[in-house]
Amino acid sequence: MTPPDRMRAMVLERPGDPLRLMALPVPQAREGGVLIAVEACGVCRTDLHLVDGELPDPVLPMIPGHEIVGRVAALGSGVEGFRLGQRVGVPWLGWTCGQCRYCRSGRENLCDGARFTGYQIPGGYAEYTVADARYCFPLPEEGDAAELAPLLCAGLIGYRALRLAGDARRVGIYGFGAAAHIVAQVLRHQGREFLAFTRPGDGESQAFARRLGAAWAGGTDETPPGKLDAALIFAPAGPLVPAALGHVEKGGCVVCAGIHMSDIPSFPYAVLWGERSLRSVANLTRQDGLDFLALAPAVPVRTAVTRFPLERANDALAQLRRGEFQGAAVLTTGA
């Protein structure tokens, strides 16, 4: 099917302003690129940070969105390994230099020249998008595109955070949203125990966590029944860091999994002492994507999604900010 000349897209023109629905030319697949007809695109908290002006130096105007599921509509010159009509996924990491010491040592997620989908590269809040073929993942041909979309960031970042936590058997999850509800299923599949920390008084999220197998669920102001081997922090709240360290056993690890977090308050060294460690997750590697997307069907991961049509992206972002749904929000194009 020949792509049309024009497409609908939700565009961020200035941080702090709502996204604007626009009719734009359909982009062209240049050398090494793939034109994708977007079926669905997840709505991530990183998109909120972009819209709210909390991420530095965005390319504007910008089409947000980096949890893209769609079908190959055209192939640029030199692209191999993909075919027209194939379902693919596009993640946050959209390009790296391939030459720096990070890229050459398997740490392309730390590349200083990296470019990111929906931040420096137009993303998936649109009917069509173009991605570098090297950073696209083959996806299952069958199944609901909206349910696959959260795997492309919430799933991948949760998986990388869990890898950095090592072989911890008792894991605390702070902020029980899109990433947490996926990594919880991976933990259960691996026979590990997880405890869920939510906003104080958020009984709905705590009940959701228990349905997914949480050994305990409570507010971040509560003390869990026993120490943790590791904690994964998905909520962008700096005060959770010393709180999590206070609940982690000696030798344990606290992993901050967001791209943005409010300032971490000072805390006594005794909270960190005992060979506890504190580290962050930065982006993902393509190998993370290949590994997790192979694991997800074996679990099998089932995503809880709330669907919004493309033109209601602002509503989806607002509801995400207010925590009005469980799991993930996903935009659909009707493709």
DSSP output for 77-94 = TT--S--TT-EEEE-SEE
Per residue of the chain (335 residues), what is the pLDDT tens digit? 688 999 999 999 999 999 999 999 999 999 999 999 999 999 999 999 999 999 999 999 999 999 999 999 999 999 999 999 999 999 999 999 999 999 999 999 999 999 999 999 999 999 999 999 999 999 999 999 999 999 999 999 999 999 999 999 999 999 999 999 999 999 999 999 999 999 999 999 999 999 999 999 999 999 999 999 999 999 999 999 999 999 999 999 999 999 999 999 999 999 999 999 999 999 999 999 999 999 999 999 999 999 999 999 999 999 999 999 999 999 999 87
Q: Two tokens at 1? A: 């099917």
The answer for residues whose C-beta is within 8 angstroms of residue 124's C-beta and 6 or more apart is 38, 41, 63, 64, 65, 66, 67, 68, 70, 90, 117, 118, 331
CATH numeric code, 6-150+304-332: 3.90.180.10
b/e per residue, 256-284, with b = 16+ CB within 10 A?
bbbbebeeeeeeeeebbeeebbbeebebb
Based on C-alpha coordinates, what's the Rg of the chain? 20
Superfamily of the domain at 156-280 = NAD(P)-binding Rossmann-like Domain (3.40.50.720)
Token pair 């999604």 is at which residue?
Answer: 305
Q: What residue segments make up the domains of the chain, in order of their start? A: 6-150+304-332, 156-280
- The alpha carbon of residue 19 and the mean position of all alpha carbons in its chain are separated, in whole angstroms, by 20
Instruction: Tell me how far apart the alpha carbons of residues 252 and 274 are, in angstroms, rounded to a whole number.
Output: 9
